[in-house]
Amino acid sequence: MDVSTPANAPWLVVGLGNPGPEYAMNRHNVGFMVADLLAERIGGKFKRAGKAQAQVVEGRIGPPGPAGRRVILAKPMSFMNLSGGPVNALRDFYKVPVANVVAVHDELDIDYGTLRLKLGGGDNGHNGLKSVTKAMGADYHRVRFGIGRPPGRMQVADFVLKDFSSAERKELDYFVDRAADAVECLVIDGLERAQSTYNS
């Protein structure tokens, strides 16, 4: 954790995706899937967040008492390429330092199901990250969920907006569960511990 970040500052964990049932199982929506599982774990239900174009759940991650971390889980409802506005509005409203923001997103350049955690960096052509970085700078955490490259000559835009294949779906629950574990580890134990445990 950044030394300038107060230990009791809340965390904002954002699953990136597109709203609407037609997108629910798309590869591009894996961030929403992880956020949904985290909400289930803390026993909360997503609700519309005031003026911000997002759904949120507030709760705590980790052991009960002071060791637990206050966390706001969020799903922007603005569509992927406009995620930055809602994320920055929530960050501002809940007074979350940029270093305590975690974006969970799909990543083309990593094999399916592989996780990589990092702080800062570029957007690698990901429109959701591009929008978030434009809104608040690049110094936030990312949990990158590998979806692999499109087969043959399929366009990237078509690939990310397709549902996971039936073969992929057999392992999807396991990988989403592991990504949720990685988010919890990052928030509770810090980036280095989470990287050494979950980066593969």
- List, by residue number, the catalytic residues: 28
Determine the Cα–Cα distance for residues 30 and 65; give it in Å rounded to an integer.
Answer: 31
Q: How many CB atoms within 10 Å of residue 64?
A: 7
Maximum Cα–Cα distance for the chain, whole Å? 53
SS3 content of the chain, % helix, strand, coil (to 5): 40, 20, 40
* CB neighbour list of residue 105: distance below 8 Å, 6 or more residues apart: 16, 30, 31, 126, 128, 129, 142, 143, 144, 145
Instruction: Please spell the DSSP secondary structure of 61-110, one letter per residue.
Output: ESSSSTTSEEEEEEEESS-GGGTHHHHHHHHHHHT--GGGEEEEEEETTS
